[in-house]
Chain A
Amino acid sequence: MNAAPALRLRAGDIAPSLVLPLLAAAALPAMSFSTWLTLTVAGVAMGMMLFLMASGLTLIFGLMDVLNFAHGAFITLGAYVAVSVLAALAGWSVAESWWLNLAALLVALVAAIVASGAFGFVFERVIIRRVYGAHLRQILVTVGGLIVAEQLIVALWGPNPLPLPKPASFRGSIILGGAAIEKYRIIAVALGLAVYLALHLVLNRTRIGLLVRAGVENREMVEALGYRIHRLFIGVFVAGTALAGMGGVMWGIYQELVTRAIGADMTILVFIILIIGGLGSVSGCFVGALLVGLLTNYVGFLAPKLALGSNIMLMAAILLWRPRGLFPVAKE
């Protein structure tokens, strides 16, 4: 599920790792280099934000075998929390100071993490706890939870789309190698990479990570060894939903507009990413998110009408080639 076993591939089985560079290389002849560079950076940035949203879901599925259809509600919650926080810190956000802007973003991120994580805790206790092991009821009950959560968010923030302006210094772009690169995208890439590395380190270098990995491989055995797997479940669920809230903040600021459908729209891309990468795999999720981000940007430039369709085509192609995704989890 995590990087180590997923990347320890059978000899000769490097084909899945080549998909990403091949996609980037295939797009190059279709456009000028500077366009390609702009689109690639945009795609990587989008992929990183998608990774933030998707990584939580794949972790939750990998460990708990729960597919949370309400994941989008946590994304929406994060984005709306950012609206409130940045509105409250409007002085910091509009100031022409890099540090104040960054502080505003950080406060928004922390607030969203706390709000989504706390809501995730309640959600696990109230909704998920009773349906472990029953897939059909899980899907139904999480869809019910999604309906309730979305409606509550609308009751709190109102039904209309709310503007979420980028902090002043994150607007505009810098010129690099003849290509315009938006500043905000660089921040998104940095944050995404930091989260990926942090997840990687926690899963591979800490005791908790060891337990999570063990729980993914064999839940009963971890329990038999005397660890309370349920506490681990809660922890991972809260962490996963907090990541979704973080993704919601980043995506909301990127779009500069927050609608009630923001989470539902992203959930569809997140599912495509999970299927492409292999359900439960963090590395697969990372590669899948980058693939979807890059493809969306390349196709969005070359043939705008096909953008979402291209992701579904990619998913169908990968399912035909590797029915379990690019980096399947060892289990089952």
Chain B
Amino acid sequence: MSGEDDRPRSRLDSLLSGDRPGGIVLSALMLAVLTGLALTPFLFPGTRSVAVAARICIFVVLAASYDVMLGYTGIVSFAHTMFFGIGAYGVAIALAKFSVGWGAVLLGAAAGVALAVVLAAAIGLLSLRVRAIFFSMITLAVASFAQILATQLRDVTGGEDGLTFSVPRVLTPGFRLLEDTVLGVRIDGRLITYYLIFAMSLGLFLLMLRIVNSPFGRVLQAIRENAFRAEALGYRTVVYRTLAGALSAAMAALAGAMMAVLLRYNGPAATLSFDVMVDILLMVVIGGMGTLYGPALGAVVLVMAEYYLQPAMATLAGAVAGWPLLPAVFDPDRWLLWLGVLFVLIVYFFPSGIVGKLREMRAG
């Protein structure tokens, strides 16, 4: 990365901020993910596959923004879903309570981002000046408080049921942009929603790549490697860590805003629950912390697993039906058990995840 600065930068390099995936295998994988997502509505027509692809796009942003904290800054937050939820509730409340229109979407998203940034900064300044470990504990407490608040403030958030709302007409399935189909695919509001989410996710991902490869990003990595030394070099670690937290919160809130537009619904279980937090952790760790490409890959793997691993486990549970206890652990509802085992194994044996492992193999 930094050693390649002498060469004239290609257009691709400036797009990727000089941080290429690295290696043929990884580059091919990332390219496959990118083209796969870009062409999903045409390659795999159907409502379900487009919904899965949109979910992947959103989780790429969410996992990558979490990586800015976990992988690049080295602090563990459990409140990432809170910021995700704040963004989603921002859009949901604006659309459900005020008016249906682009103004409401933008206003809701902006309000969500602003609240997320303020909250993240407050939590950071309060806890990071003591010990980084306090941050993890406090974010867990605050996130659970947010969850309770969202279920109790019935009038504002719709409580446990959440909010169902309408989106601008261009994004509704009923809207037709063209009379004719393109390559057998109808150009309707659902497709426009998908490409809007795809473009925004791609843009946000490239922006994060830009940020972690900037001088600011280098300081974050220095703090991760040795906070004491970074402080001695004159960098205020509290300020940098808090900024990283606020930035990551803003990105998560934007991902939440996209999620609300996609689902046309938001509730505590959709965006605030601890299950989503566990998903994000798994994505970042399985893909590879501190690489940004890793979390993107992790998001693809995990969202696909969510949709396609459970049927596979049902088959397996059927095969061991007569055994003691085995059907219980292979029950489709226990898929998190196996991901948890995988998670622990990866932290032990491949702490740098899939991407880190691929880069190591290329280097040596």
Contact = CB atoms under 8 A, between A and B. Distances in A.
Interface of A: 67, 69, 127, 130, 135-137, 139-141, 143-145, 147-148, 151-152, 154-156, 159, 264-265, 267-268, 271-272, 274-275, 279, 305, 308-309, 311-312, 315-316, 319-320, 323-324
A309 B148 CA distance: 9
A275 B134 CA distance: 7
A277 B328 CA distance: 41
Interface stretch (B47-55, B93-101, B344-352, B354-362): B344-352
Interface in B314-339: 325, 328-329, 331, 333-334, 336-337, 339
Contacts of A267: 140
B223 to A, nearest CB: 12
Contact of A308 (B76, B148, B274, B339): B148
A279 B134 CA distance: 9
A319 B149 CA distance: 22
A154 B130 contact: no
Nearest to B123: A316
Given A135-B132, A151-B337, A319-B130, A312 B343 contact: no
A101 B35 CA distance: 67
A148 B340 contact: yes
Interface string B123-155: 000110111111011101110110011001000
A35 to B, nearest CB: 24
Given A305-B152, A324-B130, A155 B141 contact: no
A148 B337 contact: yes
B285 interface: yes
Given A159-B333, A268-B144, A271-B138, 10 more contacts: A127-B344, A137-B351, A143-B281, A144-B343, A148-B340, A152-B337, A279-B131, A305-B152, A315-B138, A324-B130
A324 B129 CA distance: 10
Contacts of A324: 130
A144 B126 CA distance: 27
Interface residues of B, number: 42
B93 to A, nearest CB: 19
B263 interface: no
Q: 5 nearest interchain CB pairs?
A: A147-B340, A151-B337, A144-B344, A148-B340, A144-B343
Contacts of A135: 132-133
Nearest to B143: A268
A136 B76 contact: yes
Contacts of A323: 129-130
Given A139-B136, A143-B281, A154-B334, A316 B347 contact: no
B346 to A, nearest CB: 9
A279 B130 CA distance: 11
A147 B127 contact: no
A319 B152 contact: no
Most buried by B among A136, A154, A272, A305: A136
Given A137-B351, A140-B347, A275 B138 contact: yes
Most buried by B among A139, A144, A309, A311: A144
B74 interface: yes
A150 to B, nearest CB: 8
Nearest to A305: B152
B340 A144 contact: yes
Nearest to B333: A159
B39 interface: no
Nearest to A138: B133
B278 interface: yes
A57 B304 CA distance: 37
Nearest to A269: B141
Nearest to B149: A309
A155 B337 contact: yes
B344 A136 contact: no
Contacts of B145: 308-309, 312
A135 to B, nearest CB: 6
A47 to B, nearest CB: 17
5 contacts: A147-B278, A155-B325, A155-B337, A159-B333, A308-B144
A292 to B, nearest CB: 11
B336 to A, nearest CB: 6
A319 B127 contact: yes
A267 B144 CA distance: 11
B151 to A, nearest CB: 11
Contact of A316 (B126, B274, B325, B337): B126
A311 B144 CA distance: 12
Contact of A147 (B149, B333, B336): B336
Most buried by B among A265, A323, A324: A323
Interface string B208-234: 000000000000000000000000000
B344 A274 contact: no
A311 B347 CA distance: 33
A274 B130 contact: no
Contacts of A159: 333
Contacts of A265: 144
B304 to A, nearest CB: 19
Nearest to B76: A139
A69 B278 CA distance: 13
B160 to A, nearest CB: 15
Interface string B102-135: 0000000000000000000000001101111110
A141 to B, nearest CB: 5
A147 B337 contact: yes
B137 A275 contact: yes
B143 to A, nearest CB: 9
B182 interface: no
B341 interface: yes
Contacts of B127: 319
A315 B285 CA distance: 30
B140 A271 contact: yes
